[in-house]
Chains A and B, each alone.
Chain A
Amino acid sequence: QKEVEQDPGPLSVPEGAIVSLNCTYSNSAFQYFMWYRQYSRKGPELLMYTYSSGNKEDGRFTAQVDKSSKYISLFIRDSQPSDSATYLCAMWKTSYDKVIFGPGTSLSVIP
């Protein structure tokens, strides 16, 4: 079993839809959780960063962590064509550990 699993998609939604992206993980020691967005032919950029369980909101984006279920989510409200990208979840145990990345979900928002 991989440490971090993520549906690769591709996921295609109409503009304005609510998008839900998810990752599951197996190591209950993970405490820090991140979402990265990667446009084609570019490096990943940090989108959201959360510590432990709970929700964090930033504009149209909400990151949710459920440590009891070992499940994290990224919600995108009012999705835009500019949100079309690959979304990578990432997590680690302590700041001294290497980060474990999910394989990424490809999202297309159709105008």
Chain B
Amino acid sequence: DVKVTQSSRYLVKRTGEKVFLECVQDMDHENMFWYRQDPGLGLRLIYFSYDVKMKEKGDIPEGYSVSREKKERFSLILESASTNQTSMYLCASKSSGGYTFGSGTRLTVV
């Protein structure tokens, strides 16, 4: 089975901090995604990547950036964390059979 691992389950950060969320997949998938999930708003796509060093903006990229230096690793960066970025962040890896999600990182910005 494909495994997608997110490095942290819970994070608490201060406003203005630079935050790194890490995601690693073990099945050599080309396509990786970052979503945030908020009550009533569902899953919203932040960024995705279809190859190493390639990235594409999703629906809500403002305040975020990403890095994909290696195929298995896709990082989400909050340049200057704000309270409205408090959310559940989900990383996913895609194959022809659909998405595999990580367990999520619940980020609280105080």
Most buried by B among A45, A88, A98: A98
A90 and B97 contact, Cβ closer than 8 Å, known pairs A43-B104, A101-B42:
no
Interchain nearest-CB distance for B2 vs A (Å) = 10
Q: Is the CB of A103 within 8 A of B42?
A: yes
Q: Is the CB of A42 within 8 A of B104?
A: yes
Interchain nearest-CB distance for B12 vs A (Å) = 15
Q: Chain B: how many interface residues by the 8 Å CB criterion?
A: 22
Q: Is the CB of B106 within 8 A of A43?
A: no
Question: Which residues of chain B (84-110) have a CB below 8 Å from chain A?
Answer: 90, 94, 96-104, 106
Cβ of B45 < 8 Å from any Cβ of A?
Answer: yes
Chain A residues within 8 Å of B42, by CB: 88, 101-104
Most buried by B among A43, A45, A90, A99: A43
Q: Is the CB of A98 within 8 A of B98?
A: no
Chain A residues within 8 Å of B104, by CB: 41-43
Q: Is the CB of B103 within 8 A of A43?
A: yes
Q: Is the CB of A41 within 8 A of B106?
A: yes
Q: Is the CB of A98 within 8 A of B45?
A: yes
The answer, among A41, A42, A45, A88, for a CB contact under 8 Å with B43, is A88
Q: Is the CB of B96 within 8 A of A44?
A: no
Residue interface mask B1-20, A partner, CB < 8 A = 1: 00010100000000000000
When C-beta atoms are compared, the residue in chain B nearest to A45 turns out to be: B101
Cβ of B48 < 8 Å from any Cβ of A?
Answer: yes
When C-beta atoms are compared, the residue in chain B nearest to A42 turns out to be: B103
Interchain nearest-CB distance for B3 vs A (Å) = 11
Pairs across A and B, CB under 8 Å, 5 listed: A8-B40, A43-B103, A43-B104, A44-B90, A44-B99
